[in-house]
Amino acid sequence: MEDVLLDVKELKTHFKTEKGVVKAVDGISFQVRRGEILGIVGESGCGKSITSQSILRLVGYKRNELVSGQVLFEGEDLLTKKEKNMLAIRGSKIGLIAQDPMTSLNPVYTVGNQIAEVPMIHEKASKKSAWQTAIAMLKKVGIPSAEDRADQYPHQFSGGMRQRGVIGMALAGNPSLLIADEPTTALDVTIQAQVLDLMLKLRDETNAGIIMITHDLGVVAEICDKVAVMYAGKIVEQAPVEELFANPKHPYTKGLLKSLPKLGDKERLQPVEGQPPNLNDLHEGCRFADRCPFVFDKCHTEHPPLFSTDSNHRTACYLYDEEAE
C-alpha cells in the first residue's frame, strides 16, 4: 500500500557469544504507515531497542552480529544498503530520539551547534542558515528564549529541556519516520506529558510515522494508534491500541495489564510469575510457556505463529488456533 512507510519482514538480529547465540530479535514483522504511531512495548531485555538499532543499521557490521530479513523503508530494503547510503538516511529521512538525552548530547558543544550539524551535513546548508534552523527547532519543541538557549551547553539544560533538544535534533532533518526509544524515561510526570503532547503535535504537523519504544503501557494508551507486544525477541500480540486494552488475547499481555495499578482499585496487583528466558538458551516452543497459566504440551515443542483473531488483531498463542480447536 502506498501509505506504508516502513515494512519490517521477518527481522532477525542475533549475536554470537562465548555462551551461544543470543537471539535478541527473532523473526518479527510489522508495518508503520504515514501519520501513524506504533508502540512497541515489553519488559527490559525483550529486544525493543535492538529492533530500532537494526532498522537504522547500527548493528550488523561486526562479525558476531547477524542481521537478516527485510526492512523496507519507502520501498527500499535498508539491510542491503551500504554504510555511505545509510549515513544519508540516518538523521535525515529517519530520526532517532535516543533513550538518554544526557549521553545523546555532546557535553563540549552547545546544543545549537549540535542541532545545526544536521542541516549542514544532510542539506549542505551554510553555518548561518543551519544556526537559524537550530533556533527554529528549539522554538518548535517549546524551549523559551531559544536564541539564548542555543548558545548553552547540555549541562545548562534541565532533563526535560535536554530531551526537547534531542527531539529538536531528530526533527532538524525533517524525517518521514521518527523512532523514539523510551523518550519519557527519567522525566517527571508533568514533563512526560509535555513531551508526549509535543510528539502528537509534530505527527499532526508533518504526517511522519512514529515508532514509540517503551515499557510504559500508560504512554502507549496515551498516544499510540497500534501496539506490538514483544517478549523474548518475538512479537506475541499486535492490535489497535483500543482493542488491545479492551480485549487482550495473549497470556503475557493479560499479565502485563493485570500488573498495572488502577485508580480506585483496592485489589492487590498481580505480577507475572517467573522470569524471562535466557536468550542464548531457548527451547523450540513458546518462549512464554514456562510462565503461562494456560500452557499445554504443544507449547513446549513449537513456537506458535501469529494467529488472526479478527482483521486487525493477531496473537501468537495456540489458544487461538482454530484448526487445533
What domains can you pick out in the chain, each with its CATH number? 4-93+175-320 (3.40.50.300)
Residue that has been written with the C-alpha cell 494508551 in this structure: 221
pLDDT at 272 over 80: yes
Residue that has been written with the C-alpha cell 523512532 in this structure: 179
Rounded CA gap, 290 and 6, in Å? 33
pLDDT at 241 over 80: yes
The pTM (predicted TM-score) of the whole model is 0.91
Rounded CA gap, 110 and 126, in Å? 17
pLDDT bucket at 264, cuts 50 / 70 / 90: low
Rounded CA gap, 279 and 281, in Å? 6
Query: Burial level of 16, CB count in 10 A (0-12/13-18/19+)?
Result: middle
Residues in the chain: 325
Rounded CA gap, 113 and 122, in Å? 15
Q: How much is the pLDDT for 186? A: 67
Q: In what order do the strands lie in the sheet with 226-231?
A: 94-97, 177-181, 209-214, 37-41, 226-231, 234-240, 313-315, 307-310
pLDDT at 33 over 80: yes
User: One-letter amino acid identity for 92?
Assistant: S
Classify residue 269 by its DSSP letter. P
Rounded CA gap, 71 and 250, in Å? 26
**Tens-digit pLDDT profile for residues 192-238:** 888 888 889 888 988 999 999 998 888 899 899 999 999 999 999 99
Strand partners, 234: 231
* Greatest mean pLDDT range, 133-137, 265-269, 275-279: 133-137
pLDDT at 263 over 70: no
Instruction: Give the rounded percent of residues in the chain with a pLDDT score beyond 70.
Output: 96
CA 191 to each of CA 27, 142, 155, 160, 199: distance values in angstroms, whole numbers, following the listed order:
35, 12, 18, 6, 12
Residues in contact with 125: Cβ distance below 8 Å, sequence separation at least 6, in sequence order: 119, 133
Rounded CA gap, 11 and 222, in Å? 27
